[in-house]
Structure 1
Amino acid sequence: MENIKVEANAALIVIDVQKGFEDAFWGRRDNADAERNMAAIIDRWQETGRPVVFVRHDSPRAGSPLAPESEGNAFKDFVEERRGRGTGPELLVTKTVNSVFYGEPDLDTWLKEAGIGQFVIVGIQTNMCNETTARMGGNLGYDVLFPIDAMHTFDLAGPFGWTRSAEELTRATAVSLHGGKFARVVTAEDVLKGTAV
């Protein structure tokens, strides 16, 4: 893998790391190391004064583990404990759809006003909100870094009786984003090395 340069003002977008994703509703997940890698990257961003965007999904679907009235709407403890701890800018975005770019307040405006052209995505789910945000970011002209081991997803059933495991979906996302040049798929280690002073 090429050496990754992380810009001094690169934003970290932490997507939907919420307690509701621990619910059995979602099924089997992949990547047991996801939370550890997310935490390491958040810590590095906060230590170096880079901007961090925390994103929360407020599901409009009744009974969803992520509905605003549900306990599952809250951030997981390791994320909540880190909010407000950084030395750089911090933003909370809430959304009801997959892309963070359709959340409130407007992410694209916030990034552009801050002169930010690069961002890193971590969080949940790899092939859903993370991938959708990466695709939109690439379309909008951002340099998107996608550390594939700092996120996770779940097994999924689709049409025609087709099913795919979380690992297969993760690989498909990685190939689509990287091969389609929407984002650069990297590892958490690549990102951490790229922020070294």
Structure 2
Amino acid sequence: MELQANAALIIIDQQQGILEPRLGRRNNPQAEERILDLLGFWRRNARPVVHVQHLSHSPDSVFWPQQSGVEFQQRFLPQDGEWLIQKRVPDAFCGTGLEARLNEAGIWQLIIVGVATHNSVESTARAAGNLGFDAWVVEDACFTFDKADYFGTLRTAEEVHGMSLGNLQGEYATVVSAKQILAAG
């Protein structure tokens, strides 16, 4: 794999609310450390960083704008010169102007990390692939939660994560590890 000099790191929904215990059991306990590894690398090399913040329509959401859960975690606060994209749905491209900004900047390679794998990460990666971007999803820099499938069978976070990555691999994105991305940089 070849990492472009202007590849954008897209960090999805690293907000305080994602740490809420009520969201349930999660996988990839080291995901935030992998995200920070990538973020440090991007910042040291002056590559573009895009912070995506979810502003929910639902007062029951951990990302409802009227409470602290909507705020970025301290360790993921955007720095000067980094982009902030605020979204109202899982897909970071829908209604946000992200596609136009990336096109304007001549960025076509996207490294996608964050939460939740089966929700905003998958939705954003699908859109990126459909829009013609070279999308890479970093499997160990994403996580999700235990979730019941359509038929009511509880699936572990690992199963949900694996299925989501399987949905993306090859058709919408390329799934890689943080180590692979850092080695390619």
Match of 1:69 in 2: 66
Partner of 2:174: 184
Match of 1:165 among 156, 163, 167: 156
Question: Contact conserved, 1:93 with 1:103, CA < 8 A, in 2?
Answer: no
SS of 2:145's partner is: coil
Kindly tell me: are residues 14 and 92 of structure 1, through their superposed partners in 2, closer, same or farther at Cα, counting changes over 3 Å? same
Alignment of 1:79-90 (within 5 A): 79-80=76-77, 83-84=78-79, 89-90=81-82
Q: Percent identity?
A: 39
Ranges in structure 1 where 5+ consecutive residues have no aligned partner: none
3-state secondary structure, aligned to 1:161: coil
1:98 and 1:132 in contact (8 A); partners too: yes
Alignment of 1:106-125 (within 5 A): 106-125=97-116
Q: For the residues of structure 1 that align with 2:121 and 2:48, how far apart are their CA atoms?
A: 18
Contact 1:124 1:130 in 2 (8 A): yes
- TM-score, normalising length from structure 2? 0.96
| Greater than 4 Å deviation, 4+ residue runs | none
Contact 1:13 1:120 in 2 (8 A): yes
TM-score scaled by length of structure 1: 0.90
The root-mean-square deviation of aligned C-alpha atoms, in Å, is: 1.1
Do 1:29 and 1:152's aligned partners in 2 also have CA atoms closer than 8 Å?
yes
Distance 1:117 1:77 in 2: 29
The reply on whether 1:42 has 2:39 as its aligned counterpart is yes
Q: Within the alignment, does 1:24 sit opposite 2:14 as a pair?
A: no
- Assess if the C-alpha contact under 8 Å between 1:57 and 1:73 holds in 2: yes
Which residue in 2 is equivalent to 1:102? 94
User: Using the alignment, how far apart are the partners of 1:50 and 1:141 within structure 2?
Assistant: 20
Shift of 1:10: 0.5
Q: How far 1:78 moved relative to its partner?
A: 1.1
- 1:177 deviation in Å? 0.8
